[in-house]
Chains A and B, each alone.
Chain A
Amino acid sequence: MNRPRLVVIGNGMAGVRTLEELLALAPALYDITVFGAEPHPNYNRILLSPVLAGEQGFADIVLNDLEWYRHHGIDLRLGRQVVRIDRARRRVIADDGSEAEYDRLLIATGSSPFILPVPGNELDGVIGYRDIADTQAMLEAARTHRHAVVVGGGLLGLEAANGLARRGMQVTVVHLGEWLLERQLDRTAGELLQQTLQARGLTFRLAAQTEALLDDGQGRVAALRLASGETLPAELVVMAAGIRPNAGLAEAAGLPCARGILVDDTLQTFDPRIYAVGECASHRGVAYGLVAPLYEQARVCANHLARLGHVRYPGSVTATRLKVTGIELFSAGDFSGADGSETITLSDPFEGVYKKLVIKDDVLVGACLYGDTADSAWYLRQLREGQRIGEVRDLLMFGALAPAAAGEVAP
């Protein structure tokens, strides 16, 4: 057995997806070891929200069961957190003292929720929203408590809030921005979304800053106080105010980091033996927090690990979907309509539809769809292909079928 050894730190979607791609390209190239901090096989983190909302169970979201690891001869070490990388000796050391040597190392440590640095953030009942454990904690709280506050009106926060509301809690979302999903939606779409969620029973505090979490005298959170002075009852506080790439391990190993582990277009870090993919990696200054880029990275990284080395990762055009049942929402690219860009909008208040397309230098650079996302894949393709839109500009808003519809009547 003289095969090179590949060690993967992180048993999440990015790391395992890279293995899948690699195994497809070169099934027997490596001896593979995977460290996973969670006690679970790889599951679909994106589907935690449906689990929380009661639409799916844990079993439904497992992507690779233990049999899969066995089948591919992968040495899976669950519940072990890697605490150090020894680049000189090319080995990693886990929290239980176990070690693994590598010829290639793949870091896929993901990210962690950002916990606001406010008084009381260590109280019981204050959690992030990242993994199965968080989800279980929220389900437990929903069974035993009444009031929840979600800090952060981003994608994750709204999914958490929706899930908790579906579980019967009275949920208030505290959001620093002036509208929801301000990084994904413009104000109009954000307000439409807010109206929809309000109709479902959620309460919102926008442009609101969390000042402190107050305890119930027994070490559990009881309320959240805003800078405005308002106090919201909260036996559960979910911090969903952003994520931080888990780059500490790499940084400690001397790999250059800047809000993520710096990687090149092959997902290689500064150390040619070490690759990084997923939320922990920073590619061309961007650390992606969405699944589609991770998969694209995984494909490129696997290609290089397989010693093929003929694809590059140029970065992703990202698209957002909110996993809240009945809310169709899609956002991709640069939809902010900043300097030099032009926007096209369409709204249909009857159907609750709002669409915005952003064009720069005659190329579609951003799209934001609310209420009707049937054409989202088509827009994403336009965004990725970056073709000049030229004469179809007036038809662009009407989606994939519009050119054909216009063609029907053309002379």
Chain B
Amino acid sequence: MSTDMRTTASTCCYCGVGCGVLIEHDGERIHNVAGDPEHPANHGRLCSKGSTLHLTGDRDARARYPELRLGKTLARSRCDWDAVLEHAASVFAETIAEHGPDSVAFYVSGQLLTEDYYAFNKLARALVGTNNIDSNSRLCMSSAVVGYKRSLGADAPPCSYEDLEQADVVLIAGSNMAYAHPVLFRRLEAAKAARPGMQVIVVDPRRTDTAELADLHLALRPGSDVALFHGLLHLLLREGWTDRAFIAAHTEGFAALEALVRDFTPARVAELCGIRVEQLLACARMIGLAPSLLSLWCMGLNQSTAGSAKNSALINLHLATGQIGRPGTGPFSLTGQPNAMGGRETGTLANLLPGHRDAADLAHRAEVAAYWGVERLPQTPGLTAVELFEAVRDGRIKALWIACTNPAQSLPDQARIHEALAACPFVVVQEAFATTETCRHADLLLPAASWGEKEGTVTNSERRISPVRAAIPAPGEARPDWAIACDFARRLERRLRPGQPSLFAFERAEQLYDEYRPLTAGRDLDYSGLSRALLERLGPQQWPFRLASGQGTPRLYADGRFPTESGRARFVADAFRLPAEGPDADFPLILNSGRLRDQWHGMSRTGTAARLFGHVEQALLGLHPDDLACQGLADGDLVRVRSRRASLVLPVQADASLQPGQAFLPMHWGDRFLAGLGVNALSSPACDPLSRQPELKHAAVAVERIDLSWQFFALVEGPVQRHLDALRPLFDGFAYASFALAGRERAALVIRAAAATAPPAALLEAIDRRLGLLQGPVLAYDDPRRGVGKRVRLQDGRLLALRLAGETAARDWLKGVWERGSVEADLRRWLLAPLSAPPGATLAADPTLCNCLNVGRGAVCAGIARGLDLDGLKRTLGCGTSCGSCVPEIKRLLVQQPLAESA
């Protein structure tokens, strides 16, 4: 270990909480991370993902050099930056010349920094002259954008995290913040513990860890949120719990809404939402009598064909009760990505322009064009994510630039996305991780610097701008995203604007920030007053931060004035509409999606840290136990789950947190980890009419048993990413194939697969070769007639690799043997036997519950059985004492276990 250890303060790259992290490094490698006690978002806390950032540095997963291919059937080969960017500029210039500026498109990411966004926006709109620049925030926050803009006049969450501590009633709708925004959830838990009078309402079809904190959990029918909010307003009106004075003074459009909600009677709403009338009444009472009401929401509202309506319907409640603009109040959208807010600010959605402007607004276009010194900005509306890839597929888009996002995992209806990418004449992928599904389709792969390696700023959910700082150099020839965009832009300029001064003369990230900042002046988000120097001096600041005021703004609309033309907030009276796909006889279940506690997005980063697979190690389809029983299915059985678009094969898991009729699949598993194009092969591309956000959380599916009697399990220690790269293609022909990492100090790749019949011997041999099981000190068992073959490689008394084919009964305890390290002599003779547990021993696989302290679920259950309570468990096992992400689950076990024992 180097003695020259330094600390660099930066911001976490996962969710929109925007926690400050202190990076411990030696200038070459990041050795550890810690929460920044000075940062107002987290006060030193980190969640299970943030606290393991230093474990996600596997260089094998990284793109390190530019790679180019000149034909779709060729492999990419390494080239130099100069050559590849010249080539890209030529292709883009030629395409624009031949087919017009709207024949090219940029698809970027909520994980880019504000400076990166600005560069891409200027590149697309000012230089290329297209509005075809959209972001994966389209899948995440665009309904919230529409909601805020329609209801309040600007895309600005009016609250601060401090409101969590000050609210009397907190309404959490469509958010499993215990998993998605753990550090905020910790704040909420602490606040509720300190002020037991605080009431928490959770609206979620699933009984999530978040719901465990709730005083009232409304397990509503998926997609019925608008009916619920209208029904609540109906009751607020009936009981006289609205704030007539506020409505009169600060809002408009209430009459239409009042008329609309008249029909949302409690009985009807209870029916529509699948809840009891008493629950609805209880909820209305809590809201109506709340001294202060804070609402928090996330993808449950946004990822919907009624996403905009849901957002506005929720905001309606705040306006009707006057619960906005005061401490502990307000409609507070939780942002999914670390800088989706920055993307919205810089105009990085097809319909936006920098400074919260609209691309459709002539005056806004003129303002920005003038600032940039170009004649005009394009008028043609840009394509939003789903439409954009449809245009790629049908050939309208001929050159596509993708940066820092993985559409071949994250967009709905993946078969079409893969078709589109395969058909597109020129695909540029600018990526830090070469392992993403999208990289497979790259004609040009550009290596990007990633977290810990680049400079810039991000804005979190509470409008707080924080610096992101570099601690170590990027690997290989990787460069910051803004630098790549600007380098390319300068080359394209020479072709499109020969002889004119460059629009992209940026050498440092700060220059981009400085050029961008004045574009916010006079707008709702105005942070023209916050220079980088000031940011450094004052620390993270909340916008608006006007030049005149010289300080940030914790809370908006305290004066009851809203950034609309009339200065009044608007009630939005949207009808209740059902989701695009209802359950029917052919597709009787509704598939929901969401996060796992320890994974993030498409797993390009979290998928490099073996430890983060400890909590949930494979893709499982959750179904209510009754639905399993109905079909005669048992936990772990393989099923084919079909939607109208595709089908996937994976194991089922009994999940009592679901309602009957609902299925759940974590959003993270892409084709790299789950063969069959991953979970979004199933999801629906139907979009909200206003926000164009797809309904990723609501697809009708059918589940049927699939009999794949030939089962496969393999585990190999060593360079996991290289193993995965080499082995993954060999499993394309399997009906089921799932990949995961395992381990803590040592990492291994774990493969689970199944097929109707045994694969050809040559394929198995190729797999064995890669697993290191073809030769050498390998235990072998073969029954070719049954298609059963098993291999175990031992070295120095340790298990290094194993492969079970045909039958895999011993997989779990063999994995346990690997995790423990040594193989006991008396176990040896059973290593290849078809036993689901080793004779005499208790080596059952134990999923990790507390990832920080590595405490298994079994150990916690045993502790509970001994009579330990939460504090006792924390004291004796240490679980839940670090990041706290596992505490809700421990609490649930504490509640469940005595019941399980008395049953």
Contacts and interface: CB of A to CB of B under 8 A. Distances in A.
Interface of A: 342-351, 359, 372, 393-395, 397-398, 401-402, 404-406, 408-409
Contacts of B794: 350
A408 B788 CA distance: 22
Nearest to A344: B783
A346 B777 CA distance: 13
A404 B829 CA distance: 14
B781 A409 contact: no
Contact of B835 (A346, A393, A406): A406
Interface residues of B, number: 24
B781 A405 contact: no
A347 B779 contact: yes
Contact of A408 (B783, B829, B837): B837
A363 to B, nearest CB: 13
A234 to B, nearest CB: 38
Contacts of B828: 348, 351
A397 B777 CA distance: 20
A193 B829 CA distance: 20
B826 to A, nearest CB: 11
B666 to A, nearest CB: 29
A401 to B, nearest CB: 8
B782 to A, nearest CB: 5
Nearest to A399: B829
A140 to B, nearest CB: 44
A8 B274 CA distance: 96
Contacts of B820: none
B830 A405 contact: yes
B777 A398 contact: no
Interface string B663-693: 0000000000000000000000000000000
Given A349-B777, A351-B828, A395 B833 contact: yes
A406 B837 CA distance: 8
8 contacts: A343-B783, A394-B783, A395-B833, A397-B833, A401-B839, A405-B830, A406-B833, A409-B837
B632 interface: no
Contact of A345 (B778, B782, B833, B837): B782
B774 to A, nearest CB: 13
A356 B832 CA distance: 14
B769 interface: no
A359 B783 CA distance: 10
Nearest to B783: A344
Nearest to A347: B780
Nearest to B825: A351
B834 interface: yes
A409 B810 CA distance: 11
B71 interface: no
A183 B565 CA distance: 99
Given A351-B828, A405-B835, A409-B837, A394 B786 contact: yes
B835 A409 contact: yes
Contacts of B778: 349
Contacts of A350: 777, 779, 794
A393 B779 contact: no
Given A349-B777, A351-B828, A394-B807, A406 B782 contact: no
Contact of B784 (A342, A349, A394, A409): A342
B832 A346 contact: yes
Contacts, number: 64
B779 A348 contact: yes
Contacts of B834: 394-395, 406
Interface of B: 777-786, 788, 794, 807, 828-830, 832-837, 839-840
A347 to B, nearest CB: 5
Contacts of A394: 783, 786, 788, 807, 834
A402 B833 contact: yes
A408 B839 contact: yes
Contact of B782 (A344, A359, A402): A344
Contacts of A395: 833-834
Contacts of B786: 393-394
Contacts of A406: 833-835
Given A394-B807, A406-B835, A342 B779 contact: no
Nearest to B806: A394
B713 to A, nearest CB: 15
B829 A398 contact: yes
Nearest to B807: A394
B839 A405 contact: yes
Contacts of B788: 394
Contacts of B807: 394
A346 B830 CA distance: 12
A343 B784 contact: yes
A394 B805 CA distance: 12
Given A348-B828, A393-B783, 5 more contacts: A345-B783, A350-B777, A394-B783, A405-B833, A405-B839
A345 B778 CA distance: 13
Contact of B781 (A342, A359, A397): A397
B773 to A, nearest CB: 12
A204 to B, nearest CB: 24
B636 to A, nearest CB: 13
Contacts of B837: 408-409
Nearest to B834: A394
What are the 9 tightest A-B residue pairs by CB atom distance, in nearest-first order? A342-B785, A405-B839, A409-B837, A344-B783, A394-B834, A398-B833, A346-B781, A347-B780, A348-B779
Contacts of A342: 783-785
Contacts of B785: 342, 359
Contacts of B832: 346, 397-398
Contacts of B780: 345-347
Contacts of B777: 349-350
A406 B835 CA distance: 6
B781 A345 contact: yes
Contacts of B833: 395, 397-398, 402, 405-406
Nearest to A359: B785
A342 B816 CA distance: 32
Nearest to A405: B839
B831 to A, nearest CB: 9
A199 to B, nearest CB: 17
B829 to A, nearest CB: 7
Nearest to A395: B834
A403 to B, nearest CB: 11
A404 B835 CA distance: 10
A394 B835 CA distance: 10
A346 B788 CA distance: 11
A343 to B, nearest CB: 7
Nearest to B829: A398
Nearest to B792: A348
A409 B783 contact: no
Contacts of B781: 344-346, 397
B602 to A, nearest CB: 37
A27 B14 CA distance: 94
Nearest to B776: A349
B3 to A, nearest CB: 43
A411 to B, nearest CB: 10
A359 B784 CA distance: 12
Nearest to A409: B837
A393 B835 CA distance: 13
Nearest to B788: A394
Contacts of A405: 830, 833, 835, 839
Contacts of A401: 839
Contacts of A397: 781, 832-833
A402 B835 CA distance: 9
B783 A398 contact: no
A215 to B, nearest CB: 48
B33 to A, nearest CB: 42
B727 to A, nearest CB: 24
Contacts of A409: 835-837
A351 B783 CA distance: 21
A88 to B, nearest CB: 58
B195 to A, nearest CB: 48
Most buried by B among A348, A350, A398: A348
